[in-house]
């Protein structure tokens, strides 16, 4: 599971520029998640072979400096709570400001690696000016220019050095199901309904991530670890509905799971925050089951379920091959169906299809509907295979892979889905040179 590095600081010191530089530093970036917040403020990168997630807290504040004043304690506190290391960005051009002092005061109370980055240092004179930031009482600093990148290498070397060791593979090989969703969707009541009078629970393993709790669950022949994000301790100062907090929590839980059970509140519909969490799971290549909770509270007509389902699938296009289960945690309606579905999705995610079977099924389909010719050239696909990756990925070998366009890639993905059942799992299709 990758560590989290948070970038904090007052507005206009260059946090977002630094963030963009970090996550676009290499072509090998795993993925930048679009739409996780209003903008792109969550990304993955790696440095010296160590992969980590980067969160730009600056993206979570709208409005003027005085609104920021109220938000800053909350925001920094969240970053401190959830991140493994913190980069505190200040601006050499303006020097130390009252707001910088406020952030520094919060940071001094924290027992985590903190790296002060004095930004906009692009000349020797500016290097000397940076010395005044010693006054913030955070010790040494790194002089950087996030626009041209100077100094960021040394900063990243130090950050990566300070990150906790990768937890690597959990010794327990059981599948991990994370219950995610925005606050008040009913995650806790879903978990309580599952575990309530249950005498089959084997153990509670605390601290597999810093503060979500894993429960080993064994019932009806299913055995897996349930990752409960609902129980993560709530800071008194944190407003429950804070988007930033939900995203931070979800990032950890999702990266650390095999299948995500996304709990929605049926009375509120499928909202932006739900969609953010959905795409976060999809981009991290996790299995997904959507649980529409509180369904007992919705007034029903003949087609209510069908209409609600259609509405959700419209929102999650193009990845619509996802199971949707209507549940009520309070009356325990269909909660075991939810778990059965998650187990099915896990099996789909780990499914291996033999090369001969894959070619027997897919090559005739391709022969019947070949890729459209481009510039008078015909694409011939002769062979395909499943790649040895943790999630379903397939390579199709062609004479002119560069001429295969997105609509055809989607056609192939849909045929894979209809023939081999990858319900609930992101599938990747590559076209490669023979």
pLDDT per residue as tens digits for the range 211-236:
455 677 777 677 888 876 654 444 44
How many other C-beta atoms lie within 10 A of the C-beta of residue 389?
Answer: 10
**Structural domain contains residue 295:** yes
Same domain, 21 and 89: yes
pLDDT of residue 306: 87
The total number of residues written for the chain in this structure: 434
pLDDT of residue 355: 93
Same domain, 135 and 240: no
pLDDT of residue 42: 67
Rounded to the nearest angstrom, the gap between the alpha carbon of residue 94 and the centroid of all alpha carbons in its chain is 35
pLDDT of residue 34: 32
Is the pLDDT at 125 greater than 60, yes or no?
Answer: yes
How many other C-beta atoms lie within 10 A of the C-beta of residue 309?
Answer: 15
How many distinct structural domains can be found in the chain?
Answer: 3
Q: Which of 288, 316, 350 is the last residue of a domain?
A: 350
pLDDT of residue 47: 85
Is the pLDDT at 1 greater than 60, yes or no?
Answer: no
Cα angle, residue 12 at apex, residues 10 and 14 outer, rounded to 5°: 100
Phi and psi at residue 239, to the nearest 5°: -70, 135
List own/partner pairs for 376-383 with CB under 8 A and 24 or more apart.
377/403, 379/403, 379/404, 381/431, 382/434, 383/359, 383/434
Is the pLDDT at 289 greater than 90, yes or no?
Answer: yes
pLDDT of residue 118: 94
Exposure on the CB side of residue 208, measured as CA atoms within 13 A:
26
Range of the domain at 131: 4-162
**Structural domain contains residue 169:** no
Same domain, 207 and 107: no
Q: Which of 317, 350, 383 is the last residue of a domain?
A: 350
Same domain, 56 and 148: yes
Which of 150-159, 171-180, 318-327, 367-376 is predicted with the least confidence, judged by mean pLDDT? 171-180
Same domain, 371 and 280: no
Same domain, 334 and 245: yes
Which residues sit in the known binding site? 9-16, 56-60, 119-122, 181-188, 228-232, 293-296
- Output the six-digit token pair for 219: 């019932």
Same domain, 306 and 368: no
**Structural domain contains residue 171:** no
Contact between 433 and 402 (Cβ < 8 Å): no
Tell me the Ramachandran region of residue 424: left when phi exceeds 0, alpha when psi lies from -120 to 50, beta otherwise. left
pLDDT band at 356; cut points 50, 70, 90 = very high
**Structural domain contains residue 168:** no
Which of 55-64, 244-253, 320-329, 387-396 is predicted with the least confidence, judged by mean pLDDT? 55-64
**Dihedral sign for Cα atoms in the order 393, 399, 402, 406:** negative
Cα angle, residue 129 at apex, residues 126 and 134 outer, rounded to 5°: 135
**Structural domain contains residue 260:** yes
- Output the six-digit token pair for 54: 């980067």
Determine the straight-line distance between the first and last CA of the chain, rounded to whole angstroms. 35
pLDDT band at 169; cut points 50, 70, 90 = very low
Same domain, 211 and 275: yes
pLDDT band at 202; cut points 50, 70, 90 = very low
Q: What is the mean pLDDT of the chain?
A: 79
CATH number assigned to the domain comprising residue 383: 3.30.300.20
pLDDT band at 154; cut points 50, 70, 90 = very high
- Output the six-digit token pair for 268: 């509120």
**Structural domain contains residue 227:** yes
Q: Which of 303, 324, 350 is the last residue of a domain?
A: 350
DSSP string across 278-295: HHHHHHTT-EEEEEEE-G
**Structural domain contains residue 124:** yes
Same domain, 199 and 329: yes
Same domain, 188 and 315: yes
Arithmetic mean of pLDDT, 180-209: 60
Is the pLDDT at 237 greater than 50, yes or no?
Answer: no
Which residues sit in the known binding site for GTP? 9-16, 56-60, 119-122, 181-188, 228-232, 293-296
CATH number assigned to the domain comprising residue 34: 3.40.50.300
Same domain, 327 and 426: no
Pairing type for strands 114-119 and 141-143 reads parallel
Please give the share of the chain, as a percent, with pLDDT higher than 70.
78
pLDDT of residue 397: 93
pLDDT band at 70; cut points 50, 70, 90 = low
Same domain, 247 and 268: yes
Distance of alpha carbon 170 from alpha carbon 12, whole angstroms: 41
Which of 143-157, 167-181, 354-368, 370-384 is predicted with the least confidence, judged by mean pLDDT? 167-181
Closest CA to 92 of 141, 45, 52, 138: 141
pLDDT band at 79; cut points 50, 70, 90 = low
Which of 54-68, 132-146, 394-408 is predicted with the least confidence, judged by mean pLDDT? 54-68
Distance of alpha carbon 412 from alpha carbon 371, whole angstroms: 10
**Structural domain contains residue 251:** yes
Which residues are 428's β-sheet partners? 393
């Amino acid at each position: 599971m990758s560590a989290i590095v948070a970038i904090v600081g007052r507005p206009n010191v260059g946090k977002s520029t630094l963030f963009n530089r970090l996550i676009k530093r290499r072509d090998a970036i795993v993925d930048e998640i679009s739409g996780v917040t209003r903008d792109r403020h969550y990304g993955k990168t790696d440095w010296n072979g160590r992969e980590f997630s980067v969160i730009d807290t600056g993206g979570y504040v709208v409005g003027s400096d005085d609104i920021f004043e109220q938000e800053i304690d909350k925001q920094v506190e969240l970053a401190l709570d959830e991140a493994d290391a913190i980069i505190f960005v200040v601006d050499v051009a303006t020097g130390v400001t009252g707001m910088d002092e406020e952030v520094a005061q919060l940071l001094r109370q924290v027992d985590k690696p903190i790296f002060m980055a004095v930004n906009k240092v692009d000349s020797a004179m500016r290097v000397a000016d940076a010395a005044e930031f010693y006054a913030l009482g955070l010790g040494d600093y790194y002089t950087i220019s996030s626009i041209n990148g100077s100094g960021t290498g040394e900063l990243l070397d130090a950050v990566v050095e300070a990150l906790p060791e990768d937890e690597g593979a959990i010794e327990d090989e059981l599948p991990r199901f994370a219950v995610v969703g925005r606050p008040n969707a009913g995650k806790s009541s879903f978990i309580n309904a599952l575990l309530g009078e249950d005498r089959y629970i084997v153990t509670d393993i605390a601290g597999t991530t810093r503060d979500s709790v894993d429960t080993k669950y064994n019932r009806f022949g299913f055995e897996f670890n349930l990752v409960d994000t609902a129980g993560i301790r709530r800071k008194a100062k944190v407003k429950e509905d804070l988007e930033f907090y939900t995203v931070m929590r979800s990032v950890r839980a999702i990266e650390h799971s095999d299948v995500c059970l996304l709990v929605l509140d049926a009375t509120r519909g499928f909202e932006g925050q739900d969609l953010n969490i959905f795409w976060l799971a999809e981009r991290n290549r996790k299995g997904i089951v959507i649980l529409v909770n509180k369904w007992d509270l919705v007034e029903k007509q003949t087609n209510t379920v069908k209409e609600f389902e259609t509405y959700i699938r419209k929102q999650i296009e193009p990845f619509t091959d996802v199971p949707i289960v209507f549940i009520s945690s309070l009356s325990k309606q269909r909660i075991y169906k939810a778990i059965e579905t998650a187990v099915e999705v896990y099996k789909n995610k780990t499914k291996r299809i033999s090369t001969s079977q894959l070619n027997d099924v897919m090559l005739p389909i391709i022969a019947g509907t070949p890729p459209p010719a481009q510039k008078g050239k015909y694409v011939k696909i002769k062979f395909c295979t499943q790649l040895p990756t943790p999630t379903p990925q397939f390579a199709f070998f062609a004479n002119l892979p560069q001429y295969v366009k997105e609509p055809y890639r989607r056609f192939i993905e849909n045929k894979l889905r209809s023939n081999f059942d990858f319900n609930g799992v992101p599938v990747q299709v590559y076209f490669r040179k023979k």
